[in-house]
Structure 1
Amino acid sequence: MTTFSASDLPDLTGRTAVVTGANSGIGRVTARVLAARGARVVLAVRSTAKGREAASTMPGSTEVRELDLADLASVRAFADGFGDQVDLLVNNAGLMTPPLNRTADGFESQFGTNHLGHFALTNLLLPRITGRVVTVSSGAHRAGKIDFADLNWERKPYRAMAAYGQSKLANLLFSAELQRRLTAVGSPVLATSAHPGLAATNLFRPQGGDNPLNRLVNAGVRAVGQTDEGGAQATLHAALATVPGNAFSGPSGALGKGAPKLVGRSKAAQDAELARRLWTVSEELTGVTFPLPLKSA
């Protein structure tokens, strides 16, 4: 097996990359590496102050723009104000197991932010995207189930981890259906996905607040998990390695660590009909559709 590393990354001079959630964690590392390779990197972040702080530590050309994925008006404003070509879109931002909360549009926060926000952003930017769309999922997708009867957890008791798994399964189904549609219209754009493995980032916060058990879990994750730098390698692999459309990149080793490679996914994540149904529902919920015409290959 050929090992992928930072030395394999191409010169990105003249290319523009948009990275959501680029002010911290894996997104910050991804943005920094892309900027170091010569890309103009747009940090699409909810807090521009935090974004500017992150950008100040990065080499090369960076720009900070406000984007709140939990507010479709903000997503539209970002897309409307972005007239440049996008060579690479990295859908990285996300929430993990917060208490029950709603987005500005009334969606359960994880489904609304992790999936619907990125769904809308990608389709709105797609006429300007020329290279690749990378969506960051998680190994937690394997426990996910798309509950079309109650996507927003309005009827059943809320379980934050189950909601997270649903949103991460949705990420993979979105990427698969996006690639199917791109191929159908002859677009050269590729849709790929990645998961960081067990990464000890600030996203990992067990439910239940600050108590001895959660402190112990956090300590365990930090002891065995990957760093932000390690977790970002799968994203960079999905973004820049020679991979096919609908590829899924992840760590190659035990405990969700190791150099990135193409990895498998759950049976549900391979369900083409499920992906089509989710796409249709996502269009209805967001009011955003697959844009036509697109540039053909």
Structure 2
Amino acid sequence: MAMVFITGSTDGLGRAAAEALLDCGHQVLLHARSIQRAGTIGEVASRASGVVIGDLSKAADVGAVADQVNAVGRMDAIIHNAGVYTEPDRGSTPEGHARSLAINTLAPYLLTARLDRPARLVFISSGLHRGGEGSLDDLDWTRRPWDPARAYAESKLHVVALALALARRWPSVLSNAVDPGWVRTKMGGATAPVDLETGQRTQSWLAVSEDPAALVSGQYWHHLRRERPAPQAADPAFQDQLLAKLGELTGVVLDA
């Protein structure tokens, strides 16, 4: 059975994936933004291998999360699920970054760099990433007027590009991106057309399945089917430029 770490697993898609994996006999390490949020997990926490705590908008907390996970041991799979949707304003993290960039882009980048390398990586993106091309000139929204929808789309484009870049750079790791669809969560709202079970299925399958169809890398998925991502996300030149920018912003460079 696999050991899987899932960021943002106190509710929504992260919790649904955790429950599905636990029901299948796998071990799951949960993540909560705060001790208070960890207290809302309920019976899932008693079945899990533990809960790590850290606010992914803060670089120091991201480092603490990585340390907590590494102390448990090497994960078989990591599902980068945590994220925010349309932030009303740019905000500013302790490092001065836009909150949506920090949580949706920088946190999975930093965790990937600092965690013991797993066998599989799964990055949760969105079909809206196709509206995020052209972000590298002002990645951190320091010059442009704030646009919540655009910022979200750009961050999810980054996630797809990161997943595909890692598939190229780390051939021993299966790295994929997933669009779960518009799911009935706090983020998606009660009228969203996709139920939680359907929304979590692809990332859970990619994290643990021995089905030959799941043992692939560098793909973008939607409801168990491969799809073509935005051209920029699939462009190796863009991927390398993005990684260079993220290295500059964070001071952390991914190992080859």
TM-score (norm: length of structure 2): 0.91
* CA distance in 1 between partners of 2:243 and 2:215 (Å): 24
Cα deviation for residue 280 of structure 1 reads 0.8
1:285 maps to 249
Partner of 1:108: 98
SS at match of 1:54: coil
Match of 1:198 in 2: 182
The number of equivalent residue pairs is 249
Contact 2:78 2:118 (C-alpha < 8 Å) held by counterparts: no
| 153-162 or 132-141: bigger deviation | 153-162
2:180/2:199 contact within 8 Å kept: yes
Secondary structure, counterpart of 1:171 in structure 2: helix
Identity of aligned residues (%): 28
Question: Could you tell me whether the CA contact under 8 Å between 2:30 and 2:48 is conserved in 1?
Answer: no
The secondary structure found in structure 1 opposite 2:137 is coil
Distance 1:37 1:77 in 2: 29
Q: Secondary structure at the match of 1:69?
A: coil
TM superposition shift of 1:233: 1.4
1:96 maps to which of 85, 94, 101: 85
What is the Cα deviation at residue 136 of structure 1? 0.3
Match of 2:204 in 1: 236
Give SS of 2:202's match: helix
Structure 2, unaligned stretches of length 5 or more? none
Q: For the Cα contact (< 8 Å) 1:88–1:129, is it kept in 2?
A: no
Q: Are positions 1:121 and 2:111 aligned together? A: yes
One-letter code of the match for 1:275?
A: Q
Alpha-carbon displacement from aligned partner over 1:140-163 (angstroms, at most 9, x marks no partner): 001112422211212121110000
In structure 2, what is the Cα distance between the partners aligned to 1:104 and 1:225?
37
1:165 Cα deviation from its structure 2 partner: 0.4
* SS of 2:135 mapped into structure 1: coil
Aligned-partner Cα distance in 1 for 2:216–2:175: 9
Bigger Rg, which one = 1
Aligned partners of 2:221 and 2:204: how far apart in 1? 9
Give yes or no for the alignment of 1:71 onto 2:41.
Answer: no
The 5-angstrom pairing of residues 195-274 of structure 1 reads 195-204=179-188, 222-241=190-209, 242-251=214-223, 260-274=224-238
Please list every run of at least 4 consecutive aligned residues from structure 1 whose deviation after the TM superposition is greater than 6 angstroms: none
- SS state at 1:107 partner: coil
Cα distance in 2 for residues equivalent to 1:275 and 1:267 = 11
Alignment check: 8 A CA contact 2:125 2:159 kept:
yes
The alignment's C-alpha RMSD in Å is 1.8
Q: Secondary structure at the match of 1:270?
A: coil
The verdict on how the C-alpha distance between 1:263 and 1:55 changes in structure 2, with shifts beyond 3 A counting, is farther
Secondary structure in 1 matching 2:14:
helix
Secondary structure of the residue aligned to 2:44 is coil
